[in-house]
Amino acid sequence: MPELPEVETVARDLQRWIAGATIARATVHWDRTIRHPQPPERFVAELVGATIRRVDRRAKTVLLHLEDGRVMTVALRMTGALIVVEADAPDDPYARVVFDLADGRQLRYRDVRKFGRIGLWPGGGLRSVGGGRGARSRRVNEGTVRYRIGEVFSGHGPEPLQRGFTAKRFAERLGRRSAKLKSLLLDQSFIAGVGNIYADEALWRARLHPLRTADSLDEGDVKRLHRAVRQVLREGIVNRGASFSDYVGADGERGNNAERLAVYRRTEQPCYRCGRPIRRIVVGQRSTHFCPRCQPEPVGSETE
DNA sequence: ACGCCTACCTGCTTGC
DNA sequence: TGCAAGCAGGTAGGCG
């Protein structure tokens, strides 16, 4: 899916284009896109007439803050996209939810694989309160409508681009863990917003093998990884995200970051630092790319 | 805490 | 050409 840079790009686009717009009508073409707690009809009924005050992002979710304090969340997952078009734009067979804006434009939620989810929540602040892996799912699945938006994200880890995410804090979180770096970076309760692309990119940049365990890092390793994570994410945002197949910004245009990546989907192509062919392995069922020379294997592991 | 598996979906690429 | 297998940016939930 869209990872942090892609979601950030979409959110910034939407902030620029639809902040202040009023939703005149909404049409749900795929019911399961509308997640608990709202059944689709109720979601539509409660949304019509609402004005969008501000759009931003938390983790990989787009947040549309409404004037009355409620928040619409859009989790794009693998192939979701939010695209603003004029009302006379050609129909899109993959538009799962269409929001007609009062000014005549449409905000379309497009999602080929239908994994994405849209929710509508009462307000209540967006504090991240940390919490373990189960914290989020337990709360969200209990089945009442009484969720506050803060709770939706209560199981997420820190935002890597926020000022408070220091190397020191990162070191504290890493130090206690024995998991593989690749798995940890993908764990949203450990750090929010990093996905498969940027995890591989950050590890390459920090010269750390994806199978290294967090507790094996020394201070220098941690500092490099901290820097690398933030750098690859920031560069991703500058380049409006990486498009491989479905990702586009709210303008419907592809991002420019895919061709600037160092390892992701560059299997067998030469490493930009040392020329050795990039290798692909599977870690935690996810495809993982790294340079076998720049990112030396952890002692005792066999990758051959 | 952690790894592993299945599920959710569709489309594209690859190999026979 | 046709068809099946494998692959894809994510995550929830269950089991061990």
- A300 pLDDT tier (thresholds 50, 70, 90): low
With 0-12 CB in 10 A as exposed, 13-18 as middle and 19+ as buried, what is A93?
Answer: exposed
How many alpha carbons lie under 13 Å from residue A163 in its C-beta half-sphere?
A: 0
Within A 24-83, residues with CB less than 7 Å from strand B: 32
Task: State how far the Cα of A75 lies from the Cα of A117, in Å rounded to an integer.
Answer: 5
pLDDT higher for A235 or A302? Answer: A235
Residue A52 structure tokens = 């969008």
Whether A74 sits with its Cβ under 7 A from any strand C atom: the answer reads no
CB-CB contact of A63 with A71 (8 Å): yes
Residues in chain A: 304
Q: Using the 8-state DSSP alphabet, how is residue A52 labeled?
A: E
User: CA of A104 and C1' of C13: distance in angstroms?
Assistant: 41
pLDDT over 70, % of chain A: 89
Give the per-residue pLDDT at A140: 36
Which residue is closest to C11 in terms of CA–C1' distance? A77
Residue A195 structure tokens = 């996905």
Per the prediction, chain A carries an average pLDDT of 90
The set of strand B positions with any atom below 7 Å of a protein CB reads 1-6, 8-12
Task: State how far the Cα of A279 lies from the Cα of A137, in Å rounded to an integer.
Answer: 35
Whether A267 sits with its Cβ under 7 A from any strand C atom: the answer reads no
Q: Is A41 a catalytic residue?
A: no
Task: State how far the Cα of A40 lies from the Cα of A120, in Å rounded to an integer.
Answer: 10
Task: Say how far residue A207 (Cα) sits from the centre of its chain.
Answer: 24
The set of strand C positions with any atom below 7 Å of a protein CB reads 7-13
Whether A288 sits with its Cβ under 7 A from any strand B atom: the answer reads no
pLDDT over 90, % of chain A: 83
pTM score above 0.75? yes
Task: State how far the Cα of A262 lies from the Cα of A269, in Å rounded to an integer.
Answer: 10
pLDDT tens, A41-61?
Answer: 999 999 999 999 999 999 999
pLDDT tens, A78-132?
Answer: 999 999 999 899 999 999 999 999 999 999 999 999 999 999 998 765 433 333 3
pLDDT higher for A148 or A10? Answer: A10
Element (H, E) at A65: strand A61-66
- Name the phi and psi angles at A161, rounded to 5: -95, 0
The one catalytic residue in A2, A40, A160, A210 is: A2
Q: Where do we find the tokens 């409404």?
A: A66
Please give the average per-residue pLDDT across A286-303, as a whole number: 86
Within A 155-194, residues with CB less than 7 Å from strand B: 177-180, 183
The one catalytic residue in A254, A286, A293, A298 is: A286
pLDDT tens, A130-182?
Answer: 333 333 333 333 333 345 666 678 889 999 999 999 999 999 999 889 999 99
Please give the average per-residue pLDDT across A15-42, as a whole number: 94
Point out the least confidently predicted range of A25-34, A35-44, A236-245: A35-44
Task: State how far the Cα of A294 lies from the Cα of A163, in Å rounded to an integer.
Answer: 29
User: CA of A7 and C1' of B8: distance in angstroms?
Assistant: 21
Give the per-residue pLDDT at A301: 60
Element (H, E) at A54: strand A52-58
